[in-house]
Amino acid sequence: MPAMIEAHGLVKTFGDFRAVDGIDFRVEAGEFFGMLGPNGAGKTSTIRMISCVVPITAGALQVDGLDVRYEDRAIKARLGVVPQDDNLDQDLSVRKNLEVYARYYDVPKRLARERIDEGLELMQLQDRADERISALSGGMKRRLVVARALVNEPRLLILDEPTTGLDPQARHLVWRKLRLLRERGVTILLTTHYMDEAEHLCDRLIVMDHGRALDDGRPRTLIERYVGRDVLELHLNDEERARVRAYLDPRLGESARVEQIEDVTYVYGLGQEHAREVEELVGDHYRVIDRRANLEDVFLTLTGRALVE
Amino acid sequence: MATTTSTPTTEAPPEPPSGRRRGGVLPWLGVAVPGRRTYRVWQRNRDVFFQLWRAELMPPLVEPVIMFVALGLGLGTYVELTGDTEYIQYLGPGVLAMFPMFASVFESLFGAYFRMDQHGTYAAILSTPARPEEIIAGDAAWAATRGAINAALILVVMVALTPVYGLIESPLALLTIPAAFVLGAVLGSLGLAYTSQARSISQLTYFFSLFVLPMFWFSGGFFPLESLPGWATAVAWFTPLLHAVELNRGLVTGDIGWAHLGHLAWLVAVFFPAFWLALWTMRRRLVE
Ligand SMILES: Nc1ncnc2c1ncn2[C@@H]1O[C@H](COP(=O)(O)OP(=O)(O)O)[C@@H](O)[C@H]1O
Ligand SMILES: [Mg+2]
C-alpha cells in the first residue's frame, strides 16, 4: 500500500536559516504518527509543507501518492488541518464557522449540514451550535477546530500542538476524541512537545530537534533503545550528589550511565538493588524518584536538553 | 543511526504531471489565475458582513446626509456656479464616489489586515483547496462590493432628497452602483497591495493620508479642477477617483457622452495592473 506521507531529504529554509534540515520519514495509512520536539524544532514548518501552504525548499514530499509541488489542490482536498493557533471566525456562530469552511471544499449544502451535525456531536459541541466563538472555552475552541477539519472527511488529519494551553481535563477530552477518530480509520499526524501526549497517542513517532530528525520508531521501542526500562531521578544538593556519585560510579558497569541536566541527576539502566542503596544514601525518599523511563528521557539522552524549558 | 520499519524507499520523486505548475503559478505573471473559490472567499466576507449588518448600515446612510447639509446647504449658499446648478447638486456625483471609495479602501486596508495578521482568517482558508490568489481576488471583489453597497445606500438617500433639491436627474443614476464596484475593484486592489507590505496597523494610515485624502479633495467632487494650476489637474487625472466622479456626473445628470466612456475605460484599464500587483505582492506575503 502506498504511504500516506513520504518525505525524502525534506528541507525548508527562511533566508539562510534552515528550519527543516533534511528529514526523511514515512507515515502509513491508518497510522497515528507523532512529531515530538521542542519549540523551534521545525514541526510547524514541516506541517505547512505537507499541507501545501508553503513550498518545499528541497527534497521530495508526497502526500497520499501526490507530489506537493504540483498537486496542491488535490492534496488539500484530502486533508484536515488543525493549526497551532485557533483561527476561527470570531464574528460567526459555531455552526456558521463550519458551513463557511465546508464551502471551500465544495461540499453540497445538505451533505455539509449532515456532516456538521455529526462533527458537532462527535466533538460534544451540539449544544453550542448557535453560540458565538467568544463564548467558548479554550478546549471547546480546539474541539471545534477539529470538527472544522473534518467537514471534508479527510483521509489525513494533521494537528499542530492540539492541546497546548489546555487544562488537563480539556486535554484528556481532546485525546479521547483523537483516539476515536483513529479507530474510525483516519490517518493522524500530530505534533507536540509533550512527551506524555506523544506516548499516549502515537503508534509511531519521529523525534525532532533543530530541524533534524534524531530518530523514529514506536514510543516503547525508542525508550528501550536509548534509556532502558527504568530511571532513577535524583534531586540532590552538591554534598549528597558527591556521596551518591562516589557510590555509583564504580558500580555503573556496561549498561548503566548517569546524566546531569541542570540540577537533576538521571541514572539510566541501574539494577534494582543499587536503586535501594541510593535511596538509603540520600535518606529522603521524595528526592529519589524510581520510575519508568519515558520519551522525555529519550530526548534528554539524544540532546542533553529538556523538551519543555 | 538505528532505524525501524519506516526506512523510506529511495525511489526518485515522480515527474511533474504534464501541464502542471507549482501552485498553478504562470511563469510570465508570477501568480496563478484565481479560480472559482474566489466566490467562496467573497461569500465568507459577505456572511460576516450580514452578521453585523445593523452596525454596518448606519454610516453610509448618515454620512452623506451630514455632507449634504454642511456643504450643500451650509457652504453651498456662498458658492456661485455657472448655469442654474445649485452647489448641492454639484456635490451629488462626488458623494456617490467618495464614500464608496472610503468603504472599499477601509475594507482592503483594515479589514484585510485583520484577516491576514490578527485573526488568521487567511491562514485558515489557505489550508483548504483555495489558493492564495483566490483569497486575494475574493477580498478585492468584496472591497468592490462594499463600495457598491455603499453607493446603493447613498443613492437611496439622494433619491429621497430629490423632490426638494433635485439631486437625481436621470434613471441612469442607478449605474453609479456598478461604477462604485469598478472603482472599488481598482482601489481595493491597490489597498490590498499596500496592506501586503504593512507590518503594523498604524502603517495603514499612510495610505490614507498620502493617497486617499488628496484624491478625496482633488477629484473634482467639491470644485471644478479648472481653477487649479495645470500641473495639479494633470496629477489628478492619474487618480482613480477623478474618473469615477466624472463618470457619475454624467450618469446622475443623464448628460452622457463619449468622454464618460473614456473615464470608464480608464478605470477598467487601470484595474488589471492594480489587480495583478495585489495578487503578486500579497501572494509573497502569504506564501513565505
Ligand atoms: N516564516 C518564517 N520566517 C523565518 N523564520 C521562521 C519562519 N517560520 C518559522 N521560522 C523559524 O523556523 C524554526 C522552526 O520553526 P517551527 O517550524 O515553527 O518550529 P516548531 O513548530 O517545532 O516550534 C524556528 O526557529 C522559527 O523561528
Ligand atoms: Mg510549531
Domain ranges in chain B?
Answer: 48-287
Nearest to B13 among A53, A67, A215 (CB): A67
Ranges A276-280, B15-19, B256-260, most confident: B256-260
Closest CA of chain B from A14, distance in Å: 8
Residue contact B8–A7, C-beta within 8 A:
yes
Q: How many CB pairs under 8 A join A and B?
A: 111
State in Å: Cα A298 to ligand 1 middle: 23
Residue contact A53–B121, C-beta within 8 A:
no
Pick among B11, B116, B126, B128 to test the A interface (most A CBs inside 10 A)? B128
Lowest mean pLDDT of A101-115, A254-268, B260-274, name the range.
A254-268
Cell numbers found for residue B152: 446603493
Residues of B within 8 A of A106 (CB-CB) are 129
Question: To test the ligand 1 pocket, which listed residue (A12, A17, A35) has its Cβ within 8 A of the most ligand atoms?
Answer: A17
Pick among B3, B4, B6 to test the A interface (most A CBs inside 10 A)? B6
Lowest mean pLDDT of A38-52, B26-40, B219-233, name the range.
B219-233
**C-beta separation of A67 from B11 below 8 A:** no
**C-beta separation of B110 from B104 below 8 A:** no
At A59 the pLDDT is 96
**C-beta separation of A187 from A156 below 8 A:** yes
State in Å: Cα A39 to ligand 1 middle: 9
Residues of A within 8 A of B128 (CB-CB) are 76, 101, 104-105, 152
Write the burial class of residue A229 (CB in 10 Å: 0-12 exposed, 13-18 middle, 19+ buried): exposed
Query: pLDDT > 70: what percent of chain A?
Result: 99
Residue A34 vs residue B10, higher pLDDT: A34
At A155 the pLDDT is 94
Cell numbers found for residue A192: 507536540
Angle formed by the axes of helices B53-67 and B132-165, to 10°? Answer: 50
Which residue is closest to B46 within chain A, CA to CA?
A100
**C-beta separation of A51 from A79 below 8 A:** yes
Q: pLDDT class for B1, splitting at 50, 70, 90?
A: very low
CATH topology (fold) of A5-223: Rossmann fold (3.40.50)
Q: Of A22, A142, A5, A12, give the one whose Cα is nearest residue A64.
A: A5
DSSP assignment string, A91-146: TSBHHHHHHHHHHHTT--HHHHHHHHHHHHHHTT-GGGTTSBGGGS-HHHHHHHHH
**C-beta separation of B278 from B112 below 8 A:** no
Name the one residue in this structure whose C-alpha cell is 456558521.
A96
Which atom of ligand 1 approaches the CA of A84 most closely?
Answer: 21
Distance separating alpha carbons of residues A94 and A92, to the nearest angstrom: 7
Residue contact A92–B6, C-beta within 8 A:
no
Q: pLDDT class for A259, splitting at 50, 70, 90?
A: confident
Query: pLDDT > 70: what percent of chain B?
Result: 93
**C-beta separation of A66 from A75 below 8 A:** yes
Q: Whose CA is nearest to atom 16 of ligand 1?
A: A42
Q: Residue A6's CB: how many other CB atoms inside 10 A?
A: 23
Helix (H, G, I), strand (E, B) or coil at B270: helix
Cell numbers found for residue B45: 466576507
Query: pLDDT > 90: what percent of chain A?
Result: 70
ipTM of predicted assembly, 2 dp: 0.89
Nearest to B2 among A25, A53, A225 (CB): A225
Residue contact B43–A221, C-beta within 8 A:
no
pLDDT tens digits, residue range B85-119? 888 889 999 999 999 999 999 999 999 999 999 99
Which atom of ligand 1 approaches the CA of A160 most closely?
Answer: 21
**Predicted structure pTM score:** 0.91
**C-beta separation of A20 from A12 below 8 A:** yes
Dihedral sign from CA coordinates of B196, B198, B201, B205: negative
Residues of A within 8 A of B43 (CB-CB) are 100, 103
Dihedral sign from CA coordinates of B195, B196, B197, B200: positive
State in Å: Cα B190 to ligand 2 middle: 33
Which atom of ligand 1 approaches the CA of A47 most closely?
Answer: 17
Distance separating alpha carbons of residues A162 and A190, to the nearest angstrom: 8
Residues of B within 8 A of A92 (CB-CB) are 47-48, 51
Closest CA of chain A from B231, distance in Å: 44
Element (H or E) spanning A18, and its range?
Answer: strand A17-27
Q: Of B44, B23, B12, B246, give the one whose Cα is nearest residue B142.
A: B44
Dihedral sign from CA coordinates of A135, A94, B146, B64: negative
Residue contact B40–A60, C-beta within 8 A:
no
Which residues make up the CATH 3.30.70.120 domain(s) of chain A?
Answer: 229-292
Q: pLDDT class for B3, splitting at 50, 70, 90?
A: very low
Query: Which architecture does CATH list for A229-292?
Result: 2-Layer Sandwich (3.30)
Which residues make up the CATH 3.40.50.300 domain(s) of chain A?
Answer: 5-223
At B245 the pLDDT is 97
Q: pLDDT class for A254, splitting at 50, 70, 90?
A: confident
Buried b / exposed e over B95-120, threshold 16 CB at 10 Å, is: bbbbbbbbbbbbbbbbbbbebbbebb
What spatial distance separates the first Cα and last Cα of chain B, rounded to whole Å? 32
Q: Is pLDDT of B14 > 60? A: no
pLDDT tens digits, residue range A210-247? 999 999 999 999 999 998 888 988 888 888 888 888 88
**C-beta separation of A293 from A223 below 8 A:** yes
Cell numbers found for residue A225: 533503545
pLDDT tens digits, residue range B127-166? 999 999 999 999 999 999 999 999 999 999 999 999 988 8
Q: Whose CA is nearest to atom 1 of ligand 1?
A: B288
**C-beta separation of B193 from B282 below 8 A:** yes
Average pLDDT, chain B: 90
Residue contact B6–A51, C-beta within 8 A:
no
Residue contact A55–B287, C-beta within 8 A:
yes
Query: pLDDT > 90: what percent of chain B?
Result: 68
At B58 the pLDDT is 81
At A230 the pLDDT is 87
